[in-house]
Amino acid sequence: PYFNIAMEEYLTLHGDVNTITLFLWQNEHTIVIGRNQNAYTQVKVSQFQEDNGNLVRRLSGGGAVYHDLGNLNFTFIMNSKYFDVHRQSNVILNALKQYGLQASFSGRNDLIIDQKKFSGNAYYHHQGRSYHHGTLLVNVEMDTLSRYLNVSQQKLSSNAVQSIKSRVTNLSALNPDITVDSLKQHLVKAFADEYHGELSMRDFTTQELEFIETRSKHFASDDWNFNPRFKATFEQRARFAWAETAITLEVVNNIITNADIDSDVMISDFTSEFKHKLLHTRFEFEAIKDIISTLNIEPDWKDDLASLFMEKQHDL
């Protein structure tokens, strides 16, 4: 996914000013968040990472989306003077007409059929260059799509943009003849018809590919995906037989930067030891569990503390 985002950026910033490009691409088991979103408020980060998921922040705004190989992504890239959302969307709508489907553009950034969303769109503009990209749900695993999104806001707070739940549908549910491969073909044909130009495939030099690969490392970095300007706060409280304990963790860039342990436990150095060990640790369930195992407390106390995070591990 990081290479795809880097490729999209490269085509946008270094493309021919008189050329309109259609980039079709896919990601496997990936969540892509908007430029202005907080990963923690949108994604169950620990669960997703434990399941070998890829998380990446894109250049455009908008909400978080899940990608698997049942989803096809499109990007229209061009000089900003040619940018026209409805014309670009017509390429998608006309391609779907080949399957007997009448789709329409709805609201700010959705494509729908019978009031059901099958495509979410977003836009990016920079120094006279623009792109319009989006998802096309062909045969996405819907259970997986919802499994990793929408972290509980009762325990995790942030002022970043929130993803909005929408009714979604797979295109293959509306017409079983639709596949990713056949849709690609219809999109290319509709693209050529809309812009009345000569189609050609874009070739890349070794230098270009090396540059894109370098940029992909940027898009894979924690500094980019867990942007330091977004802070997340994890809070949990419980009454155990041995003490009432409240834990508040502040997280920046996927690292615990502040910890507050409030407890009426009789062991005087418990809170200071726990806080000291939590600081600068990755905000992941297994890492916190490992720290708890080193505390100088009774084994059953360790189990109780771990349970605080075990209950919320899918929200970390």
Q: Note the pLDDT tens digit of each residue in 268-287.
A: 678 889 999 999 998 888 89
Does pLDDT of 164 surpass 70? no
- Note the CATH number of domain 2-225: 3.30.930.10
- Say how far apart CA 59 and CA 67 lie, in whole Å: 16
pLDDT of residue 36: 80
Exposed/middle/buried for 39, CB within 10 Å: 0-12, 13-18, 19+?
A: buried
Helix (H) or strand (E) holding 215: helix 206-219
| Tokens matching residue 161 | 């943009």
Helix (H) or strand (E) holding 287: helix 285-293
Residues paired with 136 in a beta bridge: 72
Higher-pLDDT residue of 209 and 270 is 209
Exposed/middle/buried for 108, CB within 10 Å: 0-12, 13-18, 19+?
A: exposed
- Domain parsing of the chain, residue ranges: 2-225, 231-315
Q: Please name the fold of domain 231-315.
A: Enolase-like; domain 1 (3.30.390)
pTM for the full predicted model: 0.75
- The DSSP 8-state label assigned to residue 107 in this structure reads T
